[in-house]
Structure 1
Amino acid sequence: MKKLALNLPSKFAFYPTKLTPRDELLALLRDLRPLETEHPLIRLGGDGDGGYLLPDDLDGLAACFSPGVDVNSSFEFDCADRGMEVFMVDASVEGPAARHERFHFQKKFIGSFTEDPYISMQDWVDSTPVAKDGDLLLQMDIEGYEWETLFSMSTALMSRFRIIVIELHKLENLFSDAIFPILSRCLRKLLHTHDCVHIHPNNIAPMVRSRGLEIPWYGEFTFLRKDRISQRKPATRFPHPLDRDCEPDEPSMVLPKEWWN
C-alpha cells in the first residue's frame, strides 16, 4: 500500500446516495466474522506494510500468485524460501524489490479481462507452468482492482487458491446504498468457497463512522478454503499478537467489535 496524502472524514460518512440499511450492513459483517481454526496464524513478510497473517496450512502449495508488487517483496520472498514458485505482476514497477531464484515477474496489471497492459487472473494462471490440479496461494494488493478481479474469477479458479490474502480498498463504500450491493455480492462470492480467518485494518487512514458502526478505508483480509477447515470457532483476539501497524507513523488501529463480536 502506497502512503497517500489523504483528507478523510473520520467521524461521519457522507454520500450523495442514501446510506445502506444498517441491518444489511451488519448481516454482511456477521458473514465476514473471522474464524479461529485448527491452523494457527503465522506471519509471512516483514513487520509493517508488506507482511500478512495467514493460516499455517502451507504444505503442498505449488505456487504463490502475487499481483501488486510495489516496493516490498518480503512476503513473496518468504513464500519462495518455503519452496513455492512465486509469480508476480505489476506494470508500475520494473521488477520485484528483491531477487530470488523462484521469482517470476511480468510487467502487467491484473484486471477483469486481458487487454494490454492488463491480464485476467484466469489467463495469468493458465500461462504459467504450474500443475493444473495443484493448490495455490493468492496475495493481492492492487489498489482497488481487486473488486473487478474477484468478480471475473470463476468458482473453479477461486477454488484453486487454498489461501487468499487481499488488501480490500475503499471499504467505506459499504456505507453507500448504491455501491453496497456490488461490494457485498463480491464478498459473498468469495465466502461461497472460503471462510474469513483474519482481518487487519490498515492504519494509513482513519476509520469512517456512521450510525454507531465503524469501517476502515482499507483492510487486509485472509481467507482459507472451506474444505481445509474442520474446527471452527469465532476468533476473539484483535489485534492478533502477530499483527503490526502498516504505517508506523500513524496511530494504531484495532478492528471494531462489530466486525467480530
Structure 2
Amino acid sequence: MKQAILRQSIQLAALMRMFPTNLTPLEQLRGLIQQLHPLAPPTPFIRIGPHGDGGYLVPDDLAGIVACFSPGVGPISEFERACAERGMRVFMADASVDGPATPHPAFQFSKLFVGALNTDQFITLEEWVHQSLPDEPAADLLLQMDIEGSEYEVLLATPPALLNRFRIIVAEFHHLDQLFNKWFFHTAGRALEKLLQTHACIHIHPNNRRGIVQLGDITIPPTMEFTFLRRDRLRGAQFRRDFPHPLDSDNTGRGSIPLPACWYRAG
C-alpha cells in the first residue's frame, strides 16, 4: 500500500516537473555552512568589474597573479578587462557564445564549455590551464567562474594541486537551495569541501534575482557569489561580520537580499 502511494506521488510530482527526494539532515547542512563562514583577509576588499551584475569583491592581493581564467562568458566583460589592465593574461571559455562582449589584446577565447571531461565541446580546467600556460607551471592564477551549475563538477574534476595555483577564486554557485536535497548535497557538498581544503571563504554576496528558501533555522538564497582566498595568504582566522560590505551591489533592480545570519559568524 505504501509503495503504491509513493509511486502515485512520484507520478503526480513528475507531471508538475518535480521529484520528491530525501531531506538532507539539517545538522550536516549546518556543518557545511559553518565551514563557509567568511574569514577576514589581510588586505582590504576592492571591487573589480561594474556595479551590479558582473562585478565582484576580491582582496587587494593581485600583485604577482599572471593570468585570469574565466569560464562562462556573459554580456559583460568588465571584470576580465579590469584584470587585463592589471597586467594579467585573460583566458575565457564558453561554447554558447562566439567571443567576449568586448575585445582586448590580453583576451584569449576558446569556444568550449569547461566541465569534467575533455570532448569536442568540453574541456577540463586542468587541460585548459595546461594548454594556455604550458611554460608557467607554478605561477599564481585567478579563477572567476560563472557556469550556471557546472561549477560543482569542475571543482570535483580538478586536481588539488591545480586548485592551489589559484590564489583567488571567485565563483557564483547556483541551485544552493537544493542543498536541502540529500542527493544534491552529497555532490555539491563534496565539491565545496574539496575547495575548502586549499582555500578559505572570505566573502559571500546573494544574487537578488530570486528569493530565499528557509527550513528551520537555515535560510538559503538559491544563487550566491563567493570569494575564496588560498589559505597561505591568510593571517589568523578572524571571522567577518560586516555584511553587506559597502562595496556590494545588487545584481538587479529587485529588492536586496541580505546575507542570512546562518552564513556568517554573527554572534
Same-fold call, TM cutoff 0.5: yes
Which residue does 1:62 correspond to in 2? 66
Q: Per-residue deviation at 1:154?
A: 0.3
Counterpart contact for 2:94–2:113, Cα < 8 Å: yes
Partner SS for 1:127:
helix
Offset of 1:230 from its aligned partner?
1.4
Q: Secondary structure at the match of 2:37?
A: coil
TM-aligned CA deviation for residue 225 of structure 1: 0.3
What stretches of structure 1 move > 3 A for 4+ residues in a row? Answer: none
Distance 1:232 1:175 in 2: 28
| DSSP-derived class of the 2:257 partner | coil
1:188-246 deviation line (CA, Å, top 9, x unaligned): 10000000000001001101111132101101000000001113211111111000001
| Cα displacement (A) at 1:25 | 1.0
Alignment of 1:24 onto 2:24 = no
**1:256 aligned onto 2:260:** yes
Contact 1:70–1:92 (8 Å) recurs in 2: no
Equivalent runs, 1:58-97 vs 2, <5 Å: 58-97=62-101
What SS does structure 2 have at the residue aligned with 1:142? coil
Percent identity over the alignment is 50
Q: How does 1:240-255 map to 2 (within 5 A)?
A: 240-248=245-253, 250-255=254-259
2:163 aligned partner:
158
> How far apart in 2 are the matches of 1:15 and 1:166?
28
CA-to-aligned-CA distance 1:9-48 (integer Å, 9 cap, x gap): xxxxx96123211111111111000011212111000011
Give 1:1-261 correspondences, 5 Å limit: 16-129=20-133, 131-248=136-253, 250-260=254-264, 261=266
3-state DSSP class of the match of 1:75? helix
Change in Cα spacing, 1:15 to 1:216, as seen in structure 2 (3 Å) is farther
Q: SS state of the match for residue 179, structure 1?
A: helix
Q: Answer yes or no: is the 8 Å Cα contact 1:64–1:79 preserved in 2.
A: yes
SS of equivalent residue, structure 1 residue 234: coil
Q: Which gives a bigger RCO, structure 1 or 2 (Cα 8 Å, sep 6+)?
A: 1
SS at match of 1:233: coil
What SS is found at the alignment partner of 1:246?
coil
Paired letter, 2:183: A
Between structure 1 and structure 2, the one with the greater Rg is 2
Give distance in 2, aligned partners of 1:137 and 1:259: 24
Aligned length: 247
Q: Secondary structure at the match of 2:99?
A: coil
Contact 1:15 / 1:176 at 8 angstroms: preserved in 2?
no
Q: Which has the higher helix share?
A: 2
Structure 1 window deviating more from structure 2 (171-180 vs 218-227): it is 171-180
CA distance in 2, matches of 1:127, 1:179: 32
TM-score by length of 2: 0.90
